[in-house]
Structure 1
Amino acid sequence: MNILLSEVLVVAVAIGSAGSLQASEAVVSDHVAAPSYELVLRENVKWEQLNPARGDKSPRAGTLWGDRNGSEATGYLLKPMDGFQSPPHIHNVTYRGVVISGLIHNDDPTAVEMWMPAGSFWTQPKGESHITAAKGNSTLAYIEIDEGPYLVLPTDEAFDSGERPVNVDVSNIVWLEASNISWLQQAGMPTSGNAPEIGFLWGKPQDGHVNGVLLKLPAGFNGTIDSQASTFRAVLIQGQVAYQATTDNNSVNLAPGSYFGSMGAAQHSVTTSDELESIIYIRTDGKINITPN
Structure 2
Amino acid sequence: MGDLTTFETIIIAIVEGLTEFLPVSSTGHMIIAQNVLGVESTEFVKAFTVIIQFGAILSVVCLYWKRFFRLNHAPVPENTPAIKRFLHKFDFYWKLLVAFIPAAVLGFLFSDKIDEMLESVVIVAVMLVIGGIFMLFCDKIFSQGKEDTVLTERKAFNIGLFQCIAMIPGVSRSMATIVGGMAQKLTRKDAAEFSFFLAVPTMFAATGYKVLKLFLDGGTEILFNNMPALIIGNVVAFVVALLAIKFFISFVTKYGFKAFGWYRIIVGGTILIMLLLGYNLEIG
Query: Which category of TM-score, normalised to the shorter sequence, fits these structures?
Result: under 0.3
TM-score, normalisation: structure 2: 0.25
More helix by share: 2
With normalisation by structure 1, the TM-score equals 0.24
